[in-house]
Structure 1
């Protein structure tokens, strides 16, 4: 397997397992902000769902070298926050697991040679690995935030 592909998939699995270990935290901690004026644990976990779905949609656009869907990051984050406030912990965990597994399956299905290939779209030049490094950094950033609240 391509090393870059393996790195991204391992990271996705690691985040999935790490988040699933939060399943037994109390409802109080689940709804507790990670810092004053910041999101709750529930909102951070719910936020992963939206960005996983973003990459599920974006990867085929990169490969097809089509115009990439532009996303308003702030709007996506606000919608993720809003939805996470209305969903139960069980619903958020179930949806996160489902979408993360879908992303992992998509990544596993990609040919190894696609990971280094340069793709050109109206929005610039991309490699899958270059784009997916953002996902790795995103996961690690939020896990560090959660560690400070949970442990």
Structure 2
């Protein structure tokens, strides 16, 4: 699972080959830009590393940040004038740090159950909250955004080459 979670950082790094101007266009009407998506992933990695992961202990009730608040912070940051190269580098660094920390965890720690905002069960997966289920949901999350970015760049560069 950790290897799969780690793999997206190489893929995001490969996006540096695209023109910077394309990173700031919404991928669809009323959707984020690629830059905002990358910032979103980086902000969540940093939040998980600093605020969630240290509290994943048996029967702990973790108070999670309001999702929209963190997403808005990421969006604003992406549109603040930061370069695409810096944004991608920051994502790669945040993912490396999170993966390194996950690698220090024992198998038993991955299955310790805890609550988030009073809930024992992840409403998306139906599984009890654990480090394993939580990180697995982020793999799905990564793949969701990866698919959006691939479709966006493929629609722009269909004749030149296809993103994979």
Under a length normalisation based on structure 1, what TM-score does the superposition of the two structures give? 0.87
Aligned to 1:98: 93
**2:107 pairs with 1:112:** yes
- Contact preservation (8 Å) 1:114, 1:128: yes
- Contact preservation (8 Å) 1:65, 1:121: no
Q: Secondary structure at the match of 2:148?
A: helix
Name the structure, 1 or 2, with higher relative contact order (CA <8 Å, separation 6+).
1
Show structure 2 runs of 5+ residues with no match: 121-128, 155-164
* Residues 29 and 60 (structure 1), Cα distance of their counterparts in 2 relative to 1, 3 Å cut: same
Regions of 4+ moved over 6 Å: none
Post-superposition offset of 1:64: 6.3
* Residues 64 and 99 (structure 1), Cα distance of their counterparts in 2 relative to 1, 3 Å cut: farther
Tell me the distance in 2 between the aligned counterparts of 1:14 and 1:93.
14
Structure with the bigger percentage of helix: 1
Under a length normalisation based on structure 2, what TM-score does the superposition of the two structures give? 0.80
Matches within 5 A, 1:8-27: 9-27=2-20
Aligned to 1:29: 22
Aligned to 1:46: 39
Post-superposition offset of 1:26: 0.1
Q: Secondary structure at the match of 1:83?
A: helix
Alignment root-mean-square deviation, CA:
1.7
Q: How many residues in Structure 1 have an aligned counterpart in Structure 2?
A: 144
Show structure 1 runs of 5+ residues with no match: 1-6
